[in-house]
């Protein structure tokens, strides 16, 4: 098995295990707490409105905004890590259809694995910091994935052309 | 029948069932449920206007119950399809799993049992509740679903162990005719699948850049507007905010669905590309069904996106696109079943011929 295929399949499997472990941690320690916090703070803001308590209403809404922001990203991270892992494995299985030199294929595989790890990591870091750095990491990760996937698609088209439509 | 073909047929069957369930759920439950959530949110706001905190809490409890009902239906749909994908992936990897054919077949049966048990259990959670349960918080349906998930997890882990055995043994890699196939339909599906995945990624990046943060800010400001209107007793403000909130949820849902479906169908096309030698149909028909699958996979997310502008017309076209995918999958499934029937009927004759098992 070539190095690029091995990197994609092993990298994808490792990322899938990591994504599932993160999902398990998330389901046990974060999901229900997050949902409870979203529901309680939203209900709290309307209860405060019923009691004509302006400060309580605003505080509850602010709590809702923060809880929802974190919950949405945690769900996204879990889904994207596992989804990207599956893409890496499936692409790895069919990577011999990419008609480029092994060196270029290895470069594409590195870009795919790196992007698949870094993109959700940047999203996860947004739950810790609202600054520009986590966002930049997520953008860089997704750019890596898209560029490498575009390169792989070009390689498949090149392979198809050399097969001559048959 | 080999473990590989069992996983393949079972996997496509799970995907087909998950898609049909999703269609039924969308028609008979999704919109009705969304309307009930909206009505209870409106009732909570009106209760706040009246200064009735107990009614506010009751309405939010109702919202929670409707969301739980919706959540279990969505989970059923998603898990059926995702387990179908996992079955297809395990089927592709079977030649590298270093176990006897008999063991692989048993593993495939256990996997499929778990893959059906989990979604059926999840679906029943809302109806069974805690009836006759030995535990305080988890009902029988949840226990069955968790057991199904455990079976899937065990089989996946055992397959990984089998792969580890293969790569650490001195066994030469088996020649896999499926992966060596370069037929026209296989190449169409592989290239089309990658294009769909790329399209989904570009749309996701565009959504994150232009809509994600704006939608989050709107979600907060509309809820703030609703509760402020409730405190001030301004019904017009509440009604406007509620209408805008409904529109916002719809916009978010279609954009995320278009992104996710494009990538999911792309992955499905890539995986189906590997199995084309198993599809026992005429070459011209195999190409037609591959084209139908790709056409449906492209049309569905595009029409889902257009629902925002063209409403029911685009929604109807999206349903039609879903049907195209279902028909194409069904045709491939029948082709694989025919192949399986013929292979099983002449096992001895094909044993030495090297036909893909």
Q: Is B66 on the interface with A (CB under 8 A)?
A: no
Kindly state the average pLDDT of the residues B112-125: 93
Using the beta-carbon criterion (under 8 Å), do A1 and B173 form an inter-chain contact?
yes
Separation of alpha carbons A11 and B254, rounded Å: 32
In the prediction, which pLDDT does B110 show? 96
From the candidates B197, B238, B260, which should be mutated to test the interface with A, based on the most A CB atoms within 10 A?
B197
Nearest-CA distance A100 → chain B (Å): 15
Nearest Cα residue to B80 out of B264, B245, B233: B264
DSSP states of B237-289 as a string?
A: HHHHHHHHHHHHHHHHHHHHHHHHHHHHHHHHHHHHHHTGGG--S-HHHHHHH
- Nearest Cα to Cα of residue B173 among A2, A8, A101, A14: A2
Handedness of CA A74, A77, A79, A81 (dihedral sign): negative
B117 phi, psi to nearest 5 deg: -65, -40
pLDDT value at residue A166? 43
Chain A residue at shortest CA distance from B268: A90
* Subunit contact A51:B53, Cβ cutoff 8 A: yes
Q: What is the pLDDT along chain A (166 residues), one digit of tens a residue?
A: 788 998 999 899 889 888 888 887 887 788 778 888 998 999 999 999 999 999 999 999 999 999 999 999 998 998 899 999 999 999 999 898 898 999 999 999 999 999 999 999 999 999 999 889 999 999 999 999 999 999 999 998 887 777 654 4
Which position has the token pair 């473990």? B3
Of B246, B271, B107, B310, the closest CA to residue B186 belongs to: B271
User: Is some CB atom of chain B closer than 8 A to the CB atom of A97?
Assistant: yes
A57 vs B227: CB contact, 8 Å cut-off? Answer: yes
A57 touches chain B (CB under 8 A): yes
Q: Where are the domains of chain A?
A: 3-158
User: Among A48, A94, A145, whose Cβ lies nearest the Cβ of B201?
Assistant: A145
Q: Which residue of B has its CA nearest to A155?
A: B191
Nearest to B63, CA basis, from B84, B40, B46, B80: B40
CB spacing of B220 vs A65 below 8 angstroms: yes
Nearest by CB to residue B190, choosing from A89, A94, A145, is A94
Could you tell me how many CB contacts below 8 A there are between chain A and chain B?
Answer: 119
pLDDT single digits (tens) B138-178: 788 888 988 898 899 899 889 989 988 887 876 666 667 77
Q: Do A68 and B219 touch (CB under 8 A)?
A: yes
Does A90 reach chain B within 8 Å, measured CB to CB? yes
Q: Rounded to whole angstroms, how far apart are CA atoms B15 and B25? A: 15
Half-sphere exposure of B130 (CA within 13 A, CB side): 5
Please give the model's pTM, rounded to 2 decimal places.
Answer: 0.87
Helix (H, G, I), strand (E, B) or coil at B357: coil
* Residue B7 contacts A where some CB pair is shorter than 8 Å: no
| CA–CA dist B71, B79 (Å, integer) | 12
Compute the nearest-CA separation of A153 from chain B (Å).
6
Question: In this structure, how many other beta carbons lie within 10 angstroms of the beta carbon of residue B263?
Answer: 24
Nearest Cβ partner for B263 among A57, A83, A153: A83
Among A50, A58, A146, the residue with its CB nearest the CB of B201 is A146
DSSP three-state, residue B133: coil
Question: Is A128's Cβ below 8 Å from some Cβ in B?
Answer: no
pLDDT band with cut points at 50, 70 and 90 for residue B83:
very high
Other CB atoms closer than 10 Å to residue B259's CB: what's the count?
23
Instruction: Give the C-alpha separation, A131 to A125, whole Å.
Output: 10
Q: Within a 13 Å sphere around the CA of B285, how many CA atoms are in the beta-carbon half?
A: 13
For B190-194, what is the mean pLDDT?
93
CA distance A88 to B227: 46
In this predicted structure, what is the pLDDT of residue B81? 93
The answer to whether residue B2 scores a pLDDT higher than 90 is no
Look at A105 and B340; give whichever has higher pLDDT: A105
Whether residues A47 and B53 touch (CB distance < 8 A) is answered with: yes
Q: Is A68 on the interface with B (CB under 8 A)?
A: yes
Alpha-carbon gap: A25 to the closest alpha carbon of chain B (Å)? 16
Contact residues, B window 74-93, toward A, CB-based 8 Å cutoff? 85, 89, 92-93
| A51 shares contact with chain B (CB less than 8 Å) | yes
Whether residue A86 and residue B89 make contact (CB cut-off 8 A), yes or no, is yes
Task: Specify the higher pLDDT residue, A90 or B181.
Answer: A90
Which residues have a Cβ under 8 Å from the Cβ of A111 and sit 6 or more positions away?
Answer: A144, A145, A147, A148, A151
Residues of A in contact with B203 (CB under 8 A): none
Which residues from chain A sit within 8 angstroms of residue B156, using beta carbons? none
A75 CB within 8 Å of a chain B CB: no
Taking the Cβ of residue A163 and every Cβ of chain B, the question of whether any pair is shorter than 8 Å is answered with yes
Say if the Cβ atoms of B51 and A50 lie within 8 Å: yes
| Both tokens assigned to B327 | 């028909």
């Amino acid at each position: 098995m070539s190095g690029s295929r091995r990197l994609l399949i092993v990298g994808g499997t490792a990322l899938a295990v990591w994504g599932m472990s993160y999902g398990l941690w998330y389901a046990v320690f974060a999901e229900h707490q997050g949902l409870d916090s979203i529901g309680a703070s939203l209900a709290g803001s309307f209860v405060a409105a019923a009691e004509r308590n302006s400060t309580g209403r605003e505080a509850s809404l602010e709590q809702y905004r923060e809880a929802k922001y974190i919950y949405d990203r945690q769900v996204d991270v879990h889904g994207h890590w596992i989804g990207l892992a599956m893409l890496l494995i499936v692409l790895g299985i069919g990577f011999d259809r990419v008609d480029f030199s092994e060196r270029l294929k290895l470069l594409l595989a590195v870009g795919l694995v790196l992007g698949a790890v870094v993109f959700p990591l940047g999203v996860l870091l947004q739950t810790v910091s609202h600054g520009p750095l986590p966002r930049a990491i997520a953008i860089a990760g997704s750019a890596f994935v898209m560029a490498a996937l575009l390169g792989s698609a070009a390689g498949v088209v090149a392979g198809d052309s050399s097969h001559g439509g048959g | 029948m080999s473990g590989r073909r069992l996983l393949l047929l079972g996997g496509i069957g799970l995907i087909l069932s998950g898609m049909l369930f999703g269609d039924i759920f969308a028609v008979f439950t999704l919109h009705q449920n969304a309307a009930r959530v909206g009505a209870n949110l409106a009732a909570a706001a009106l209760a706040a206007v009246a200064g009735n905190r107990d009614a506010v809490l009751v309405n939010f409890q109702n919202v929670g119950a409707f969301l739980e009902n919706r959540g279990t239906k969505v989970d059923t749909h998603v898990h059926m399809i995702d387990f179908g994908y996992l079955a297809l992936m395990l089927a592709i990897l079977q030649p590298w799993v270093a176990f006897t054919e008999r063991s692989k077949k048993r593993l495939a049966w256990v996997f499929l049992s778990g893959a059906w048990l989990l979604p059926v259990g999840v679906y029943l959670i809302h109806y069974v509740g805690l009836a006759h349960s030995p535990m305080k918080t988890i009902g029988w349906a949840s226990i069955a679903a968790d057991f199904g998930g455990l079976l899937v997890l065990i089989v996946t882990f055992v397959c990984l162990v089998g792969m580890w055995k293969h790569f650490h043994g001195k066994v030469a890699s088996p020649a896999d005719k499926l992966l060596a196939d370069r037929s026209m339909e296989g190449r169409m599906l592989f290239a089309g699948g990658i294009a769909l995945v790329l399209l989904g990624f570009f749309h996701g990046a565009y959504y994150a850049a232009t809509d994600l943060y704006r939608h989050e800010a709107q979600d907060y400001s509309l809820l703030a507007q609703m509760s402020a209107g409730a405190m001030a007793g301004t019904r017009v403000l509440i009604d406007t905010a509620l209408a805008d909130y409904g529109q916002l949820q719809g916009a978010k849902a279609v954009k995320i669905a278009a992104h996710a479906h494009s990538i999911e169908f792309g992955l499905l096309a890539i995986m189906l590309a590997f199995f084309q030698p198993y599809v026992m149909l005429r070459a011209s028909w195999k190409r037609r069904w591959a084209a139908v699958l790709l056409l449906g996979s492209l049309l569905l997310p595009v029409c889902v996106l257009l629902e925002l502008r063209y409403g029911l017309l685009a929604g109807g076209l999206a349903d039609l696109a879903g049907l195209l995918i279902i028909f194409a999958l069904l045709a491939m499934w029948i082709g694989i079943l025919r192949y399986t029937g013929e292979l099983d009927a002449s096992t001895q004759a094909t044993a030495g011929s090297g036909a893909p098992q």
